[in-house]
Chain A
Amino acid sequence: QKEVEQDPGPLSVPEGAIVSLNCTYSNSAFQYFMWYRQYSRKGPELLMYTYSSGNKEDGRFTAQVDKSSKYISLFIRDSQPSDSATYLCAIPSGGSNYKLTFGKGTLLTVNP
Chain B
Amino acid sequence: NAGVMQNPRHLVRRRGQEARLRCSPMKGHSHVYWYRQLPEEGLKFMVYLQKENIIDESGMPKERFSAEFPKEGPSILRIQQVVRGDSAAYFCASSPQRTGEDGYTFGSGTRLTVV
A contacts, CB < 8 Å to B: 4, 6, 32, 34, 36, 41-46, 49, 51, 88, 90, 92, 94, 96-105
Q: Which residues of B contact A92 (CB under 8 A)?
A: 100
Task: Answer whether residue B102 sits at the interface, using C-beta atoms and an 8 A cutoff.
Answer: yes
The answer to whether A32 touches B101 (Cβ under 8 A) is yes
The answer to whether A43 touches B103 (Cβ under 8 A) is no
The answer to whether A44 touches B91 (Cβ under 8 A) is yes
Residue in B closest to A33 when the chains form the complex, CB atoms? B101
Q: Which residues of A contact B104 (CB under 8 A)?
A: 46, 98
The size class of the interface chain B forms with chain A is: 20 to 34
Option from A42, A45, A49, A94 in Cβ contact (under 8 Å) with B101:
A49
Chain A contact residues: over half helix, strand or loop, or mixed?
strand
Q: Can you add 10 more A-B contacts, CB < 8 Å, to A99-B56, A101-B45?
A: A4-B42, A6-B42, A34-B101, A34-B103, A43-B91, A44-B106, A51-B101, A98-B48, A100-B103, A103-B42
Q: Which residues of A contact B43 (CB under 8 A)?
A: 44, 88, 90, 100, 102
The answer to whether A102 touches B91 (Cβ under 8 A) is no
Task: Answer whether residue B25 sits at the interface, using C-beta atoms and an 8 A cutoff.
Answer: no
Q: Which residues of A contact B108 (CB under 8 A)?
A: 41-43
